[in-house]
Amino acid sequence: MSQSVASRISGTDLTIRVAGRFDFGVHRDFRSAYVDALKPGMSVTVDMNGVEYMDSSALGMLLLLREFAGNDSADIKIMNVCDEVMEILKVANFDQLFKVL
């Protein structure tokens, strides 16, 4: 399955859409999606519709996003998570760091 990362800004929300395998293969695209676009006061939505697999590097990328966005003050939502990915997020306690919808 191919991998892709796309982003768009709507008002004060930056949406990053990840599809395919969420692993180290998309780290540059994932970082590029928010580094120049994310401004103070903006929220971030990570849309994982179509992500069937994620590994520990993807967890690290989410942590780097959270750090870049302000750590505890970051407003980051993760949405459209399949059951397998949700299990990974819960095991890693990421459901306590992010709003998982």
* pLDDT tens, position by position, 46-96: 999 999 899 999 999 999 999 999 999 999 999 999 999 999 999 999 999
Q: How confident is the model at residue 1 (pLDDT cuts 50, 70, 90)?
A: low
**pLDDT at residue number 19:** 95
Q: Is the model's pLDDT at 2 over the cut of 90?
A: no
CB atoms within 10 A of CB 19: 18
Q: Is the model's pLDDT at 31 over the cut of 70?
A: yes
**pLDDT at residue number 11:** 96
**pLDDT at residue number 36:** 94
Encoded tokens for 28 = 């540059």
